[in-house]
C-alpha cells in the first residue's frame, strides 16, 4: 500500500483526475481517496514512483507518506 499527500487536490474533479491518472498506470489498482485530508492510498504491485509521476503529470503534487 502506497500513501501520498496531495495538498493541491481540493475538489471532486481533482480527486477524479488523480484516480484517472493512477488507473492509467495500473487499471487494476485499488485507489482510496480522502479528499478532506488530501490523502491518496494505492494498492498495487507496481512501484510507488510510477504513481507519483502519474499524479504529478496530472498536475498535482504527490508527497509520499510513511
Domain total in the chain: 1
Residue 59's region, left for phi above 0, alpha for psi from -120 to 50, else beta, is left
What pLDDT is stored for residue 63 in this prediction? 97
- pTM of the model as a whole: 0.93
For residue 42, give the CATH number of its domain.
3.30.70.100
> Do the beta carbons of residue 55 and residue 6 sit within 8 Å?
yes
List per-residue pLDDT tens for the chain, 66 residues long.
Answer: 999 999 999 999 999 999 999 999 999 999 999 999 999 999 999 999 999 999 999 999 999 999
Residue 5's region, left for phi above 0, alpha for psi from -120 to 50, else beta, is beta
List the domain range (segments joined by +) for residue 20: 2-65
Amino acid at each position: 500500500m502506497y500513501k501520498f499527500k496531495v495538498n493541491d487536490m481540493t475538489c471532486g474533479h481533482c480527486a477524479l483526475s488523480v484516480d484517472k491518472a493512477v488507473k492509467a498506470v495500473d487499471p487494476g489498482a485499488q485507489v482510496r481517496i480522502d479528499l478532506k485530508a488530501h490523502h491518496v492510498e494505492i494498492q498495487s504491485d507496481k512501484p510507488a514512483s510510477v504513481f507519483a509521476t502519474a499524479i504529478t503529470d496530472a498536475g498535482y503534487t504527490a508527497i509520499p507518506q510513511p
